[in-house]
Structure 1
Amino acid sequence: MIHQIRQEQFINAKIEDVWDFVTSPSNLKKITPEYMNFVIKSKNPNEKIYPGMIICYKVSPILKIPTTWVTEITHVKKNEFFVDEQRIGPYKIWHHEHLFREEKNGVMMIDIISYKLPFGIIGRLINYLFIKKKLNNIFNYRYEKMNELFNK
């Protein structure tokens, strides 16, 4: 079963400023909870994303156990959207669409995360008991951090 999380947030800023921030992998640490011990292992974290870009991370999402996570940026359309997909990591499927829509006085930022856990029915149970709540907490943290950065 594929699960989905969707989050929308109005950002009171120019689309170019929001785009510049979110398309720089080095800024991910700024919007990721500290307890996850997020570290980018890629050589050029300040480089802007592009289709085919591979980004390697170390992250400790559960019980402080470090996990390697590798994502590929599969699609990019400047100031409109980009997509990252997990290539190595804890999920069987991870597809994250980042959408940006220019609006009066700012930008509507939309995240759509489609994911599937391994282990069949056990994975579905783990999602129900733990993972979905954890992911919602992470994206709520990002929401608050983006508010602090842009909606002062």
Structure 2
Amino acid sequence: MSRIYLETLINADIQTVFDLARNIDVHQESTSKTHEKAIAGRTSGLIEEHETVTWRAKHLGVYQTLTTKIISMDKPNQFTDEMQQGAFKSLHHQHIFKKAEGKTLMIDIFDFESPLGIIGKAFNKLFLKNYLKKFLLNRNELIKTTAELNNNNNNNNNNKRTTN
């Protein structure tokens, strides 16, 4: 089993970050390089507990599908998705959100296992773990940028109201 652990500090409120992280449309935007598209289950908007989404994307030159299910959710503190069907032997992704001095700390704990025994373990170590880490970092950067832009716009609007 391989694990990727990421922390992203975002200058926005926890509810905004939580909703962006579970937004299918935001995810599709962050994965445009792999042409990732939600094709079944929840295909747009905010995914909820017990819902599934099936993704179709081009990874490593091959189109693949992956179905995940939200197996737990505690708004706005955490949600966990788990692979139901796909190329991995297993995939479990915890999304954790914590208030941190007026900001939000978004934590990803991404556990995965490739099929093919020792060959899969070698592939994970040599390539896949770094590939997936970059994939998650790209997604997190879009969430951070979008949340902080929304936060700045809201602050500017509040400032205009108080000065008028």
Q: Does the 8 A contact of 1:24 with 1:45 survive in 2?
A: no
The runs of 5 or more residues in structure 1 that have no matched partner are: none
Is 1:128 aligned to 2:125, yes or no? yes
1:9-24 to structure 2, matched below 5 A, reads 9-24=8-23
Q: Which residue number corresponds to residue 100 of structure 1?
A: 97
Q: Deviations over 1:81-128 (max 9, x none)?
A: 000001111110100000000121210000000111111100011111
Q: Which residue number corresponds to residue 141 of structure 1?
A: 138
Is 1:58 aligned to 2:56, yes or no? yes
Q: Does the 8 A contact of 1:80 with 1:99 survive in 2?
A: yes
Cα drift, residue 25 of structure 1 = 1.7
Aligned CA distance change for structure 1 residues 140 and 43 (closer, same or farther; 3 Å): closer
**3-state SS of 1:66 partner:** strand
**3-state SS of 1:121 partner:** helix
Cα drift, residue 47 of structure 1 = 4.2
- What is the Cα-based RMSD across aligned positions, in Å? 1.5
CA distance in 2, matches of 1:82, 1:43: 17
Q: Which moved more, 1:92-101 or 1:19-28?
A: 19-28
Q: Does the 8 A contact of 1:50 with 1:75 survive in 2?
A: no
Q: Does the 8 A contact of 2:82 with 2:92 survive in 1?
A: yes
**3-state SS of 2:40 partner:** coil
The runs of 5 or more residues in structure 2 that have no matched partner are: 150-164
Percent identity, aligned pairs only?
26
Aligned CA distance change for structure 1 residues 44 and 83 (closer, same or farther; 3 Å): closer
Q: Which moved more, 1:79-88 or 1:23-32?
A: 23-32
Cα drift, residue 14 of structure 1 = 1.1
Is 1:150 aligned to 2:160, yes or no? no
Q: Does the 8 A contact of 2:24 with 2:46 survive in 1?
A: yes
Aligned CA distance change for structure 1 residues 73 and 43 (closer, same or farther; 3 Å): closer
Q: In structure 1, what residue type is equivalent to 2:97?
A: F
Which residue among 79, 84, 99 is the counterpart of 2:81?
84
TM-score between the two structures when normalised by the length of structure 1: 0.90
The structure with more radius of gyration? 2
CA distance in 2, matches of 1:143, 1:10: 10
Cα drift, residue 43 of structure 1 = 5.4
Which residue among 10, 16, 38 is the counterpart of 2:36?
38
